[in-house]
Amino acid sequence: MTSRPRIPEVAYHPSRWTLRTKLIAGVLVLFTVVMLATSALTVLETRRYLEAQLDESLQSALLRAGDRRGVYEDDGDGPAPRRSAPPGAPGGDNVLVLGLTEDGTVATDTGGYSLNQVILPSGEDGTLDADQIERLSAVEPGETVRVDVGDGVGEYLVTARTLDDGSRFIVGVSTRPVDELLGKLLALVVGGTVVGLVLVGVGGAVVIRRSLAPLDRVAATARQVSALQLDQGDVSLAVRVPDDDADGRDEVGQVGLALNTMLDDVEQALQARQESEMRVRQFVADASHELRTPLASIRGYAELTRRESDPVPQTVTHAIGRVESEALRMQELVEDLLLLARLDSGRPLEREPVDLSLLAMNAVSDAHAASPGHAWELDLPEEPVEVTGDGARLHQILANLLANARTHTPSGTRVVTRLRPEGSMVRISVSDNGPGIPSTLQPKVFERFTRGDDSRSRARGSTGLGLSIVAAVGQAHGGRVEVTSEPGATTFSVLLPAA
């Protein structure tokens, strides 16, 4: 399976633009495309029309220049020159005429009119030089082409006609008026497009900003909800999209209405979750509290049985010992459950200065007495480390971490307890060089009733609540827990706010 190409994470990439920017850019692009298409069509159609007019003028001039029989008119006393345009000068400005004989030389004047004549841009008559005549001579009869006459004369639309005697008339009409008009039209189109882009950009930005203002308010409501603490405690979602932005009559209103509906559903679900959690916590607390009395009674009767002076069979003595042992284990489990239930209910802990250095020394000393086979080490800073909290619960953190290292590592394992200030926090860490924790177990090692695999099993059963109590007590003090583990290096850490 081929992976999709990833879009570069750059701020100027269109995929990273805001919706407002995308809309403005889309409007400008659409306006530009429409203007360019309309302008191109207008310019092309105008050019086609003007060139058709120019070609029509050229053909008219050619017909007048080639009609040699109509050059003179008879007034009764013999032929006399006509006062209208001569063959070589069809009349009007911006024209040229060139007469060539059959052998290619310039024809002589006819009736006093020159057959080598051009109207210069200044409006004066002029004649064509040899280079210009050579350029014009290349025009084939019946062909209509643009020829740059040069020498300040400009470009002409030129055509030629062959007469009966083999001579040729070459007539041209200046393209300057058409080119100037098209240039002005193109400048007008470009200028209008630029001005239109500015006006559409400014006006579109204002309109889009006002149109998206309700969406901004909906987004602000969503951000406000996302900042709420919804993972624990009694949650109340009082934030809603205003009614004006949730009327459902337009697209933004539909989004606001959908968000309000979703918030209603989420609030109901959170309330149901909270009620369920409270019932479970209350049940655990009540059950743990009620079990303490019968468990204490079982232990008492077991001890009383062992004090009997009358002989008791060995099997009965063993059974009573097992009952007492399991009752003690069950009592520890009940105490742990009751502590977790109290922490879950948010019951406040004692808040007083606690010397963690002293707690660490006592906890390590107890661990050494419980398991002399382990190598217990203590790494403390020179100055005492103090925090504010419940001394008994903080001692339980250290005791549980050391008990976890003792029961899940073999004899001879090196266990190091450290205290280190880290800015506004204090880090309590317990490290060992035991077999480590499987990577699949590490994400849930602080969850309740989590037990290690065979590589970290202990001789007697584990309740799976020791590390969960560490996490709960640490969080109740405003701290957090961490774990890193690999074969030969496992570290449990608790970070607490410094005093």
| Cα–Cα distance for residue pair 210/410, rounded to 1 Å | 71
Question: What is the percent of the chain where pLDDT is above 70?
Answer: 81
Q: Provide the token pair at 374.
A: 């382990």
- What is the pLDDT, as a whole number, of residue 395? 92
Q: Is pLDDT at 75 greater than 80 in this prediction?
A: no
- Residue 144 CB contacts under 8 Å (≥ 6 apart), including other chains: 55, 58, 157, 158, 159
Per-residue pLDDT, averaged over 151-173, amounts to 78
- What is the pLDDT, as a whole number, of residue 214? 85
Q: Is pLDDT at 429 greater than 70 in this prediction?
A: yes
What is the number of other CB atoms lying within 10 angstroms of the CB of residue 246?
A: 22
Contact 61, 90 (CB under 8 A): yes
- What is the pLDDT, as a whole number, of residue 360? 92
Amino acid at the residue 83:
R
pLDDT band at residue 307, thresholds of 50, 70 and 90? confident
pLDDT tens readout for residues 435-459? 988 888 888 888 877 766 544 444 4
Q: What is the residue whose two structure tokens read 């977790």?
A: 340
pLDDT band at residue 93, thresholds of 50, 70 and 90? low
pLDDT band at residue 109, thresholds of 50, 70 and 90? low
Nearest to 390 by CA among 289, 466, 496, 285: 496
pLDDT tens readout for residues 246-301? 877 888 888 888 888 888 888 888 888 777 777 776 777 777 777 777 777 777 77
Per-residue pLDDT, averaged over 301-305, amounts to 75
Least confident of 171-175, 380-384, 388-392, 477-481: 171-175
Q: Is pLDDT at 495 greater than 60 in this prediction?
A: yes
Per-residue pLDDT, averaged over 53-78, amounts to 60
Domains of the chain plus CATH, in order, are: 15-68+91-227 (no CATH), 278-345 (1.10.287), 352-497 (3.30.565.10)
Q: Is pLDDT at 363 greater than 90 in this prediction?
A: yes
In terms of pTM, does the model score above 0.75?
A: no
- What is the pLDDT, as a whole number, of residue 152? 66
Q: Is pLDDT at 201 greater than 50 in this prediction?
A: yes
pLDDT tens readout for residues 408-418? 899 999 999 99
- What is the pLDDT, as a whole number, of residue 119? 56
Q: Is pLDDT at 494 greater than 90 in this prediction?
A: yes
Per-residue pLDDT, averaged over 342-356, amounts to 81
